[in-house]
Each structure stands twice: as structure tokens, then as C-alpha cells.
Amino acid sequence: MKKNKLTLKDMSSASGQLVELNPEEFMKLPYPYDNSESQPPLKQLTDEVREKYECGLDGHLALKLPQPKSKEEEEQLVNKFLDGLRKLLSKENNWTFLMPLSLSLEYCAKCQTCSDACPIYVSSGKKEIYRPTFRAEALRRIVNKYIRKKGKFSLKMTGNDIELNWKLVARLAELAYRCTLCRRCAQTCPIGVDNGLITHELRKLFSQELGIAPEELHAKGSVQHLQKGSSTGMIQQAFADTLEFLEDDIEEKIGRRITMPIDKKGAEILLIHNAGEYLSWPENPMAFAIIFDAAGIDYTLSSEIVGYDAVNYGLWYDDVQLARVALKHAQIAKDLGVKKIVVGECGHAHKAISVIADRVFTGDLNIPRESCMPILEDIVVNEKIKLDPSKNDFPVTLHDPCNMVRLMGVVEPQRRILRKIAPQFREMEPHGVENYCCGGGSGFAIMPSLNFPDWRSSISGRMKFKQILDAFQDVIDPSIKKMVCAPCSNCKGGIRDLLAYYNAWEKTGIAYTGLVEFIVNAMVDVKEPYIEWPEF
Ligand code: SF4
Ligand code: SF4
């Protein structure tokens, strides 16, 4: 589709692909990426993919939405969408989020203050399709015209000429996966309209009513989590074997064997890690074991199905799946008789179990839940273990995971730790609750199919990459090794892919790791460096 200004009407009427993405128009990056040759080209979808799936948005696919085979099938899907929308707006079916959804649909003043807060909109070179209000306004107009059935005069006055058809529904489904749910827009809105929540509710409608969700979040995500025990596919026996390997690795690294306690009844804490850590970053759960052992923390891990994986992908797309996983976590903690559940370095797991699950935990399942950050802060800042900050004497910056920081308010503990043990710590700008998403939020970090990773690294992670480069501009020479601390599994995945996409280790000497790795690296009793740098 070629014309200058995209309108909402185009969502239902335009044929073909709605927008073309041109890397030349994307937000500029700082040195050494301040020239167009530094921007890797975007991979194009093949003709075969274009024939098979709905590709009418921006040339990238998060969903593999099959094209309906007939007009009748299209009509059925549109009607299902409308039925789902009615449910979304009813107290009986959406008691969790009806109030903020209704208020957000009712009260946008169209001031566009939120647009400049959105990293995706800004990074794309201000593409209209990614404006936080674009998706929200499409839904608002459908609601006003087809659910609330506002009169012709009212629709004309508000410029509502939207036409509900399959093209619009298919594009909205894909567009629901062009927002990381970071809710920076909501934080900025002067009247509290939450466009991130509107996106979340759209995803929920598609998943719960039409069975449409990215396979990485649903079939290979929450479904696999509940059936096999972990969203990684790791079964119980594999988990037990993994812990043994990790204990061997700990012994090799620090010269002392540490047992990782498992299913210990009556422990003070049930510690749950994102299971992705065991497979991709085992040094993270190992570091927790070393620190907790040294500090004498009474904790246990669980070997129960679901209990060894803190992730709860339902948070991003489906309330029912969220509740199923959260209830399993609470039941496991109750059966172990622990005093509280503590979540390791995983931002969305923090929010899922601590905040959102509050609405489903009742009675004795309402066990206290905490972030690992204050415990780690207490250990480091109150010197419960011996630390030597000079062992971390290289430039370090801190990424703030949206779910943990902006959306939960866990802001200071992690920076107090770094200020204490990393002499060259410097903040990104902006930081804390103002910080930008890693680009992998809301599930994007675990969605590697087709050309979606290109979109993620070029657009949704672009602002984060700019922040990282800006934070290290004074030491940008690749011979100076520097580290991004990302205390969240998904953010680590997002940042790992960003750094790889831009070949950042070779070009700038920037690497990444979690937070506990810095603590163990600084431990006086650990003689060899714990943090490992990539090879040049
Ligand atoms: S969502 Fe808020 S900030 Fe954005 S246009 Fe509407 S009123 Fe303005
Ligand atoms: S939630 Fe974040 S990514 Fe989504 S529209 Fe708002 S600012 Fe943009």
C-alpha cells in the first residue's frame, strides 16, 4: 500500500501489506552505528509464507495466522471476534480487567503525549501503525459502532468510519504483537489511559476466544509448562540431572561442593527461577546457590511439575493460563510449608505471581511472595558475605526490567548492590521507572520464528541498544570490556540477541550478564573470576 498518511480505515480496506519498513527512516543510533551500513537489512518473508499466512501488516510475522479458506470462514472468525469483544466488556467474563479497560476505552483525550514515550513508535521513525493510540483507537471505534451501537450522528461526529471485516481482525491480531506491554505510554498519559492494557486485552480476546496466540507463548509455552513441567520442555528427571551438573560446576568453579536444596519441607523460602536460566545461563542459579549458602539463607527449590519454572507466560496473553500456572506455584509452596515464595531474576514472573495473581490467590494459597532483590540487597549492603569490589572494576550499566521496576516499583535494591560492588557503575538515561524495555518484553524475546527477530532487534529493542551505547560512549573502544547487568531472564535473552544482531561485542566490547554473577565475582572466598567474557 503506497500513500503517505495511514488511517484506521485502511485497516479494513487496504489490500496487501499496510506499511513498508525502511531502515533508513528508523531512529538514528550513536557511534559506532551512526551510519546506514551498520543497520543490518531486514529479512523479507518468502512468497511461500505470504501465500500461507496473513501478512497484511508490516512484512513481519509474530503470529502464523492461516488465511481463511472461504468467505464463510472469514465471517465466522469475525463473529467470534465480536462475541469475544462482548465478553471482554462484561463483568461476568472479565472481572479481572474490565474497569481499567472500560476507562481506557472511554477517556482518551487524543493529546498524543503517549506517542513520544513509546520506544516502538519512536524507534520506527514514528510510523503511524505503531502509535500507542492507533491500535487502541481501532478497538474503541469497533466497540462504539458494533457493541455500544452508537447512533450515526455520534459516529460521524467522532469520525468513526471503521468497517469490521476479516482484514481488520487479522491486522489487529498481528498488531497486538507490536507492543511490548511496557506501559511507558500509560505512565506518561495525563489521565491514566492504559494503551498497554488495551493491547493485553486484545491478545487475551484472540487467545481465549479465537485460539490465536504465538505458539512460543501458548503451545510451546504455558501448555507445555503445565503438561511437562517447564516451558523449556525440561521434564522432572532432566531438572534433577541438571542440578547435579550445576553442583559439579560450582565445585569446579569455587573449589567447594554446595548442595542445591530441593523439596525441603518447612524451609523459609521457596526459590523459583525462570527455567530458561538452567539451560541458557546456568551460572545464574549457581550464583544464587553460592550466595545463599554463604549467607546462610534457609531455602529450597521444588522438583514438582511447574514448580521449577517461575515463568508465567499467561501474563502476556491469556488470563486462564496465567491463573492455572499461578495456582500451581501457590499449591506447591503450600505443600512444602514454606513461609514465602521468592522469585529469582525474572521480571515477568515477579509481576505474575506477586501482583496479578493476587486476584486469584485466596485463603491459605495467599502465601507471601517477594522479589529476590531485597534479600540480595540485605546480603550485600549489610555485608553478610565478604566482598571485594575491586574484582568488578570494569564499566557496568544496569537495565531495568519493565515488569520488576516500572510495574512493581522494585527500583533501588539492585542499584544499591551495584553501587557497593561495581566501582565503575553508571546509569543509563533514562533509568529506573522511566527506563526503556529491552525490546524482548511481552514474550518477544522467546519468539524466534520467521523474520520476527529482525523486527525485534531493529525496532522494539532499538531504544535499549541506543541507551546501552550512550551509557558507554566514553569507553566505547572495543578493547575496553564492559558489561550490561540485566537482572531478568527475558531481558537477558532480548539483550543477548540485540548485541548479536549488531555484532556489538566485536565492535564495542559490550557483553551482558545477570546481577548475582557480579556478587559472586566480588566474593573474597571465590578465588577465580566468576564472570566469563565472550571470546574475541
Ligand atoms: S492515551 Fe493518554 S496520552 Fe495518549 S492520546 Fe490518549 S489521553 Fe493523550
Ligand atoms: S505499552 Fe510500551 S510498547 Fe506498548 S504502546 Fe505503550 S509504550 Fe508502546
Kindly report the three-state secondary structure assignment for every residue of 30-98: CCCCCCHHHCCCCCCCCHHHHHHECCCCCCCCCCCCECCCCHHHHHHHHHHHHHHHHHHCCCCCCCCCH
pLDDT for the residue 155: 67
Distance CA 469, CA 31 (A): 8
pLDDT for the residue 300: 98
What is the best residue among 115, 127, 181, 437 to mutate for testing ligand 2's pocket, by most ligand atoms within 8 Å of CB? 181
Distance CA 459, CA 451 (A): 13
User: Which tens digit of pLDDT belongs to each residue from 302-334?
Assistant: 999 999 999 999 999 999 999 999 999 999 999
Give the confidence band of 50 by pLDDT, cuts at 50, 70, 90. very high
User: Which tens digit of pLDDT belongs to each residue from 10-20?
Assistant: 999 888 999 99
- Kindly give the number of the ligand 1 atom that is closest to the alpha carbon of 132: 4
The residue whose CA is least distant from atom 3 of ligand 1 is 189
The residue whose CA is least distant from atom 6 of ligand 1 is 108
Distance CA 233, CA 236 (A): 10
* C-alpha cell read off for 210: 479465537
Q: How big is the chain by its Cα radius of gyration, in Å?
A: 24
The dihedral sign for the CA sequence 443, 444, 446, 451: positive
Q: Is residue 422 within 6 Å of ligand 2 at its C-beta?
A: no
Q: What is the mean pLDDT of residues 167-171?
A: 97
Report the candidate in 270, 264, 285 with the shortest Cα–Cα distance to residue 341.
Answer: 270
Q: Is residue 183 within 6 Å of ligand 2 at its C-beta?
A: yes
Which range is least confidently modeled, 34-48, 294-308, 384-398?
34-48
522 C-alpha to center of ligand 2: Å?
37
pLDDT at 3 over 60: no
Question: What are the backbone angles phi and psi of residue 326, rounded to the nearest 5°?
Answer: -60, -40
275: amino acid identity, one letter: A
Contact (Cβ atoms closer than 8 angstroms) between residue 212 and residue 65? yes
* C-alpha cell read off for 183: 506501559
172 C-alpha to center of ligand 1: Å?
20
Q: What sections of 296-430 are H helices per DSSP?
A: 314-317, 319-336, 347-354, 373-381, 413-421
pLDDT at 32 over 70: yes
- Kindly give the number of the ligand 2 atom that is closest to the alpha carbon of 460: 3
The residue whose CA is least distant from atom 2 of ligand 2 is 182
For the beta sheet containing 369-371, the strands, ordered from the edge strand earlier in sequence to the opposite edge, are 299-300, 269-272, 340-343, 369-371
529: left (phi over 0), alpha (psi -120 to 50) or beta: beta
Report the candidate in 331, 328, 411 with the shortest Cα–Cα distance to residue 371.
Answer: 411
What is the best residue among 104, 179, 191, 197 to mutate for testing ligand 1's pocket, by most ligand atoms within 8 Å of CB? 191
Q: Rounded to the nearest 5 degrees, what angle is found at the Cα of 13, between the Cα atoms of 10 and 17? A: 70
What is the best residue among 101, 140, 188, 193 to mutate for testing ligand 1's pocket, by most ligand atoms within 8 Å of CB? 193
194 C-alpha to center of ligand 2: Å?
9
Tell how far CA 480 is from the center of its chain: 30
pLDDT at 104 over 70: yes
CB-CB neighbours of 2 under 10 Å: 5
pLDDT at 1 over 60: no
Which neighbouring-strand residues pair with 485?
398, 513
Give the confidence band of 536 by pLDDT, cuts at 50, 70, 90. low
CATH number corresponding to 228-371: 3.40.50
The structural domains of the chain, with segments of one domain joined by +, span: 10-210, 228-371, 386-522
